[in-house]
Amino acid sequence: MKIAWMLLWVLLASLLPAAGQQGKSRRSGPEVTLLELQSHRESGRIMIDGRVKVTSDRPIKGVVLLFDLMASGNQVISTQKIVVAEETVEPGHEAEFGGHVVDHARAIRIRVHCEDRDTRHLRVANAGPFPIE
């Protein structure tokens, strides 16, 4: 009886590593690359312009950029968003974006995050932080 239990434990232990890898994502790189970003203050707003490229191997259902406005010490004081594309975007597509976010006097840097229109987080290459000029 003890031998049967030991064989059962060995069998279960050998299956656990395979089960753990099954849930891992096959995607390894970023889905979006930030190619360019400029920002400056104007009339109580922070104007932001730039370009992004979809580097995913699958289409993305819309592209929404989230901007963390950061104070000294990289403390996030506000997160605001700009919609780059509402429609589905194909791999390799580049898009320019422009817009503004509400200015915070203590904000000195911007870090970028990205999500699709269903609020699924997307990995971003070259996410910053970038200085606010």
Q: What is the pLDDT of residue 11?
A: 58
Measured distance CA(133)–CA(67) in Å, rounded: 15
What is the H or E stretch that residue 52 is in?
strand 45-54
Determine contact, residues 71/108, Cβ cutoff 8 Å.
yes
Q: What is the mean pLDDT of each run of 10 residues along the chain (133 residues)?
A: 57 57 60 91 90 89 90 89 86 89 89 89 89 89
What is the H or E stretch that residue 77 is in?
strand 76-89
Q: What is the pLDDT of residue 37?
A: 92
Q: What is the pLDDT of residue 23?
A: 47
